[in-house]
Structure 1
Amino acid sequence: MRRYACVWFPDWPIDRLRRARRGRDISCLSGKPDDPPFILTEQGVTGLRVAAANVAANRLGIGPGLRFADAKSRAPHLQAEPIDRGADAAALEALGLWATRWTPLSAMDGMDGLRLDITGCGRFFGGEGALLNEIGERFAHDGFSCRIGAGPTPGAAWALAHHGEDRVNVCRADERVEDALKDLPVQGLRLSEAAERLLRRFGLTRIGQLYDIDRTALTRRFASREAADAVRLRLDQALGLMSEPLTPLRPPPDYVARQSFVDPLISGEGIVAGLASLSEQLCRQLEKDGKGARDFTLTAFRSNGTASLVSLSTARPVRDPAHIRRLFRDRIETIDPGFGIDLLVFSAARPDHLEIEARHLSADLAPGPVDREALSALADRLTARLGEGAVRLARPVDSHDPVRAEGGVAFEGQEESWEVSLYAPRGDRPVRLFDRPEAVDVLAEVPDGPPIRFVWRRVARRVMRADGPERIAPEWWRTFNAEARARDYYRIEDEEGRRYWVFRDGLYQDGRGGPPRWFVQGLLA
């Protein structure tokens, strides 16, 4: 049976703002009972309204939905600020990612709550009750007021969190969900205000009162079939008669290892030691299934409610702990321990069957000159040090146009691409061309021949030797362009021994535009 937990933050916008401004002298956000009244406002359809209020404002009858003018009349010295929904959502998402310390399946629940799939997670914390208490204590320690509900369905957990009697309300695994929800108000079904008003008009104020009503009769009570279907849907979801999918903030890892610390880590050496232990555990899991993985992530959960992670990918599936540690060696330095790290989680994704090859006794006995395992390890180290896609291999392309004659592919340890990239360019051409040809001003030229003198990069140069031309016509079968012109390429050398690969774009009297223009395509060795 699956188990879900709902963590509801009833004062989320106020708590989030208080935490964001922690350390500043703001009396209205201290959280004390004697704070001056303070609200967050939001523009509504009929004007400015209250979006959130602190405890002092609530005591004066000021709450969400009240018009700002009415709130101001009740408390003339009321302090107010506009609410920042974007910052609230971003902070809630960050908190949801941090909650993956308890379960890999964490999702946002509206604008003020989190939904956690805690199936099977209780045994790591001394039972489900201990897990829920730890969740509540950690959030309270970080300054968030919260209520928690747990049950076999997300709907039941939501109802218990929002309308249960205690701070932590649980529908036990041996308890019927109908019995746990029967005394809760119908607001626990996450209905619209119109549907709630209609149910109250019929005298249906408790969830249990809906159990014995015939579904057809319930539909007849509503003027709108959509409203009736919404009540039936929410009731079925809460009772587990209809599934309700959970979309996690982060896809769950295929393999994971975790290690908690009684004394939080405050140095990089401790993180390195923790990674050494976790990599051994993770690789044993992979070895048990005969697999390796290509994506690895190390997440450090700080004691102040924040998290930091580093990730990398490998060219081929691996499960060598020493190799993985070498790849993370430079990236661990980017993790800031802050006030201390009390949990490290090391996860692996994209698993695949690992091809194990026996190593040859000597190089003379090897069937080929390339060690594919060493080549893959080289690609991993380059990617970890320089970034993904930073190292590329040159590949010849079936084209006689110099600009298109060579392509690039990211180096991922592929043996065949490495061998292809060793072939020399066709013809006596530069090893590397300019990204864009650079125009030159020809001072003297021979018709249908190379230039005698030209200016390139504001320096006049005199040609002493020349070879060519190599004529390349436009590739009309790719993209037909009536203005495209043929090119004559020349290898030339100036009086200082510098060698250039230049071309004349167009021929004299070819009927395609003005006079030809000259460009430098690259430099020869």
Structure 2
Amino acid sequence: MRRHVCVWFPDWPLDRLRRSRAGSVPALPVSGATPDDQAGDTPFVLTEAGRNGLRVVAANDAARSAGVEPGLRFADARTRAPELAAEPVDRAADARALEKLALWMECWSPAVAVAGGDSILIDMTGGAHLFGGEDAMLDHMEARLKRAGLPARLGLAPTPGAAWALAHEVSGGRAGRRVDEAGLKPGLAGLPMAGLRLSDASLTLLRRFGLTRIGQLYGIDRKALARRFHSVSAADAVLTRLDQALGLRPEPLDPLRAPPDHAVRLPCPEPLLHPDGIRAGLARLAPALCERLEAHGEGARRFRLAIFRSDQSVAAVTAGAARPIHDPAHLLTLFRDRLDGLDPGFGVELMELEAARTGPVTPQARPLDAVLAGDGPDTAGLAVLADRITARLGDRVVKILQPVESHLPERGEALAVYDGELPDWQSATPPGPAPRPLRLFERPESLEVIAEIPDGPPMRFVWRRIVHRVRRADGPERIAPEWWRAGASGPGGRRARDYYRVEDEEGRRYWIFREGLYGDGRGGPPAWFIHGLFA
């Protein structure tokens, strides 16, 4: 049975503003109120521009006592509380802060999602026993948030919609904030219709029909209910929300981060205040995670270490491996040079080590010496070397050349991030190719050439203002234009190349080519270029 928790912050914009200005006393833009006024005796509200002018979106206790409620026009609010202080609401800052808080709530479950502008949904399936039961879990969550200055109301139900309804519409403490699958319909029946997350227009229309409680929809014929709405979409919205709350239609949770393949956690009895504590915690987490990976016959190529601080913030570092691994020593090596950037802040309450991009671990026997190793590359050793370089210099710094299907030499290879496997150059190389330099110039450089016959090899060429007399020449190796590319044919199109391997009088060898042929109908006379040097 699925279990979802909804955490609702009724005064989230005010709480976020109060926390963001803790320890400072700047003047608020509109009335000069201080942050203490938001929770003190001075009426304070947050406003937002609407169709009919400014309206109140959040009010502190003093403003509510004066009759100022969210939704009221600001002009009417000033008449009820002449000393009212106000400031525009910052929706973007509220959303960013709520998302950061949701990431911190991953200390309870890896599946956390933001629901609206003031609520967070958590998939707690199978996790309540870690806190001593569901009631103890809810009390623990509520106490932690209250200690952080974030009063919240919680609801626990089999569906996200039902949990949302319980958190928003059930008042009066612990009673009724938790329902199981058998008590789902009775638990929602007496709640206001707003618990179904409907639009204002749908709620207004339902009130006109005398439908104010969710339970009143249970016995109504669905076709009859649909006929009462002006549009099919509005009726479908009501029925969809009802079915989602009752578990008749699926409502998958969309977490902020994809859940890891494997994860282990380490709660801290006392907050860790020194980086050495983080290193010691990682030394305990690494064997536990690798043991779990090995038990599943897997390794991982991506690891993430997250620390949950006492101030409701999260910091994390990631490390990658070229091949799937489950060796604790290797894993600690990956993080060795990356933990310096983790600041414990006011103390670390929880550490979590995650594994992603899992796959089977291919065992490979290491040779006893170089003689027994043979001619093949040591792929396991290369992977370990690449991991050490990556751990020191950063991700995506180790690259290799991959073959590319192309006739042109400059397009025949491309740099790619090393993923633990070496490309098969033998199968990618055309059969019986002429010898070519190991490295080519980034761009072919122009030459001045004198040839014995128009289509023959060069006798002398000038490169970088130096004259080279050719003693030997081998070729040509003709490479035709790639006909499938745009502009490869017709007048003015790409021209064929004739490559030569030449050696000058001092024994230096070059790879040069003539682009174009005399009378090929694709431009003027051929041009000569140098493309690489032989060792």
Superposition TM-score, scaled by structure 2 size: 0.83
Counterpart Cα distance in 2 of 1:118 and 1:406: 49
Look up the equivalent residue of 1:98 and give its one-letter code. W
Q: Secondary structure of the equivalent of 2:359?
A: strand
Conservation of the 8 A alpha-carbon contact between 2:160 and 2:245:
yes
- TM-superposition CA deviations, 1:295-340 (whole Å, max 9, x none): 3221111111111222233333221111111112122223222222
Which residue of the partner structure matches residue 314 of structure 1? 321
Look up the equivalent residue of 2:523 and give its one-letter code. G
Which residue of the partner structure matches residue 112 of structure 1? 118
1:122 aligns to 2:132 (yes or no): no
Which residue of the partner structure matches residue 494 of structure 2? 484
Which residue of the partner structure matches residue 29 of structure 2? none
Deviates more, 1:500-509 or 1:160-169: 500-509
- TM-superposition CA deviations, 1:60-108 (whole Å, max 9, x none): 4444434444445555665554433333323222222221110111111
1:37 aligns to 2:49 (yes or no): no
- TM-superposition CA deviations, 1:221-261 (whole Å, max 9, x none): 54545444433333333233333221222122222110011
Which residue of the partner structure matches residue 275 of structure 2? 268
1:411 offset after TM fit, Å? Answer: 2.5
1:524 offset after TM fit, Å? Answer: 5.2
1:18 aligns to 2:18 (yes or no): yes
1:358 offset after TM fit, Å? Answer: 5.7
Conservation of the 8 A alpha-carbon contact between 1:471 and 1:486:
no
Residue 77 and residue 199 in structure 1: after superposition, are their counterparts in 2 closer, same or farther (change >3 A)?
A: same
Deviates more, 1:341-350 or 1:81-90: 81-90
Which residue of the partner structure matches residue 91 of structure 1? 97
Deviates more, 1:241-250 or 1:56-65: 56-65
Which residue of the partner structure matches residue 163 of structure 2? 157
Look up the equivalent residue of 2:92 and give its one-letter code. G
Look up the equivalent residue of 2:331 and give its one-letter code. I
Look up the equivalent residue of 1:231 and give its one-letter code. V
Residue 258 and residue 89 in structure 1: after superposition, are their counterparts in 2 closer, same or farther (change >3 A)?
A: same
Conservation of the 8 A alpha-carbon contact between 1:122 and 1:131:
yes
1:113 offset after TM fit, Å? Answer: 0.7
- TM-superposition CA deviations, 1:400-428 (whole Å, max 9, x none): 522123344433332564888999x9656
Conservation of the 8 A alpha-carbon contact between 2:47 and 2:54:
no
1:39 offset after TM fit, Å? Answer: 1.7
Conservation of the 8 A alpha-carbon contact between 1:186 and 1:196:
yes
Which residue of the partner structure matches residue 138 of structure 1? 144
Residue 321 and residue 513 in structure 1: after superposition, are their counterparts in 2 closer, same or farther (change >3 A)?
A: same
Residue 245 and residue 416 in structure 1: after superposition, are their counterparts in 2 closer, same or farther (change >3 A)?
A: closer
Conservation of the 8 A alpha-carbon contact between 1:39 and 1:57:
no
Counterpart Cα distance in 2 of 1:417 and 1:376: 17
Which residue of the partner structure matches residue 200 of structure 1? 207
- TM-superposition CA deviations, 1:373-422 (whole Å, max 9, x none): 33333343344444444323334556552212334443333256488899
Counterpart Cα distance in 2 of 1:242 and 1:397: 49
Deviates more, 1:218-227 or 1:92-101: 218-227
1:109 offset after TM fit, Å? Answer: 0.8
Conservation of the 8 A alpha-carbon contact between 2:334 and 2:387:
yes
Conservation of the 8 A alpha-carbon contact between 1:256 and 1:348:
yes
Counterpart Cα distance in 2 of 1:439 and 1:95: 61
1:330 counterpart (308, 315, 337): 337
Which residue of the partner structure matches residue 5 of structure 2? 5
Which residue of the partner structure matches residue 295 of structure 2? 288
Residue 368 and residue 494 in structure 1: after superposition, are their counterparts in 2 closer, same or farther (change >3 A)?
A: closer
Look up the equivalent residue of 2:8 and give its one-letter code. W
1:512 aligns to 2:522 (yes or no): yes
- TM-superposition CA deviations, 1:144-164 (whole Å, max 9, x none): 332111122222211111111
Percent pairwise identity: 49
Conservation of the 8 A alpha-carbon contact between 1:298 and 1:309:
yes
Conservation of the 8 A alpha-carbon contact between 1:392 and 1:409:
yes
Counterpart Cα distance in 1 of 2:412 and 2:219: 76
**Unaligned regions of 5+ residues in structure 1, if any?**
none
1:371 offset after TM fit, Å? Answer: 4.2
Deviates more, 1:83-92 or 1:250-259: 83-92
Conservation of the 8 A alpha-carbon contact between 2:112 and 2:121:
yes
2:399 counterpart (392, 398, 409): 392
- TM-superposition CA deviations, 1:270-294 (whole Å, max 9, x none): 2221111111111222222232223
Counterpart Cα distance in 1 of 2:436 and 2:84: 78
2:308 counterpart (301, 321, 326): 301
Counterpart Cα distance in 1 of 2:268 and 2:433: 61
Look up the equivalent residue of 2:166 and give its one-letter code. L
Alignment of 1:411-430 (within 5 A): 411-414=418-421, 417=424, 429-430=436-437
* Number of equivalent positions: 517
Deviates more, 1:305-314 or 1:391-400: 391-400
Look up the equivalent residue of 2:123 and give its one-letter code. D
Conservation of the 8 A alpha-carbon contact between 2:159 and 2:244:
yes
Deviates more, 1:500-509 or 1:293-302: 500-509
Look up the equivalent residue of 1:115 and give its one-letter code. L
1:352 offset after TM fit, Å? Answer: 3.0
Conservation of the 8 A alpha-carbon contact between 2:401 and 2:415:
yes
Q: Secondary structure of the equivalent of 2:294?
A: helix
1:247 counterpart (239, 251, 254): 254
Alignment of 1:426-441 (within 5 A): 429-438=436-445
Deviates more, 1:411-420 or 1:228-237: 411-420
Conservation of the 8 A alpha-carbon contact between 2:304 and 2:318:
yes
Conservation of the 8 A alpha-carbon contact between 1:378 and 1:413:
no
1:208 offset after TM fit, Å? Answer: 3.3
Look up the equivalent residue of 2:276 and give its one-letter code. E
- TM-superposition CA deviations, 1:433-467 (whole Å, max 9, x none): 23333557x5x86685466545x5xxx44445576
Which residue of the partner structure matches residue 352 of structure 2? 345
